Structure 1
Amino acid sequence: MTQKTFAALVADALPHVRELMPWDVEEMLVEKPDLMIVDIREIEEYNVGHIRNSLHVPRGILETACDWGYAETIPELVQARDKPIVLVCRSGNRTALAALTLALMGYAEVYSMKTGVRGWNDYELPLFDADEVQVDIDEAEVELNPPVHPDQMEPKG
């Protein structure tokens, strides 16, 4: 089996998933009242700033949350196979892989939000913290763009 990078996995998934920009999602929220937004980031990320009324389902448990018979099962999500679902993460990469997975699991109308929550914030749409207080756009910008440290970079040579 050929080894692939995360970027290559995402690139392979993208032709098979539908993507929406944040402004498209904003419109869909008005046009489709049954639209479900599923935020697949880790709890720490979600608590910093999330889209109001989004369902938090970390990527690590997404598949079991979407199926019956697991401790992680979320009935609302299992029963949403025929509803429109928009997956969100920080930048839109994790959701590309997750959208492909949900499509394979039989979800009929699943989308990945391109640019993720960072793009939502850049478009100046509201984000809310763990207490459901609206987050300042500039503060969210800092939190949504964590630095990559030197030891996280590929060694040269």
Structure 2
Amino acid sequence: MSEFLHRLPEFLGNHPFLAMAFFGVLLALIANESTRWFRGYKELTPAELTRLINGENALVVDVSSASDYEKGHVPTARNVAMSQFDPEHKDLAKVKDKPVAVICRSGQTSAGAAARLAKAGFTRVYTLAGGTAAWQAADLPLHKGRR
């Protein structure tokens, strides 16, 4: 280890672009992980979401469009269009301490809704990593049509 530390300055001097690339990737990785750590919600796998629904009676909110929701959704999910999604709604305010999982078709839109819930003071906010597509890929049942 001592020899490594003695030769490190020489390596950095001989390969400045490689050293800058390494430190750039390292900083990006640290920034990404710290953002994930402090964002206020957690991503779940389909199996973890199933456990949360069955074990803790989680509220599942699907923010997909109505047509995507009707094509297939997680069995207990309630559809709320993203344009109408309001964390301050009186029905949602009742469940601030209950687990709330937000789902969309691909997992991208639900992240914004989850961040809004966390900012509004919800203590247990989750998203389904990969969205309904991941749920379907895990061979879990989808309900079709309106609830």
- Normalised by the length of structure 2, the TM-score is 0.70
Superposed CA offset, 1:5-44 (max 9, x none): xxxxxx7xx62131101111011122112x1000000101
Name the residue aligned to 2:56: 32
Q: Spell out, residue by residue over 1:77-120, the C-alpha distance to the aligned partner (whole angstroms, 9 max, x if none).
A: 23111110000001111111111111001111001110100000
Report the 3-state secondary structure (helix = DSSP H, G, I; strand = E; otherwise coil) of the residue aligned with 2:85. helix
**Which residue number in structure 2 is paired with residue 148 of structure 1?**
none
The two structures, once aligned, show a CA RMSD in angstroms of 1.9
Pairing 1:4-153 to 2, within 5 Å after superposition: 15=36, 16=39, 17-33=41-57, 35-63=58-86, 66-67=87-88, 73=89, 75-130=90-145
Cα distance in structure 2, aligned partners of 1:78 and 1:20:
23
> Secondary structure of the equivalent of 1:77?
helix
Q: One-letter code of the match for 1:60?
A: S
The alignment covers a number of residue pairs equal to 112
Counterpart-to-counterpart distance in 2, 1:80 and 1:36: 8
Compared CA separation, residues 43 and 131, structure 1 to 2 (3 A): closer
Report the 3-state secondary structure (helix = DSSP H, G, I; strand = E; otherwise coil) of the residue aligned with 1:120. Answer: helix
Unaligned runs of at least 5 residues, structure 2: 1-31
Question: Aligned equivalents of 1:28 and 1:95: distance in 2?
Answer: 17
Letter of the 2:135 counterpart: W
Pair member with larger Rg: 2
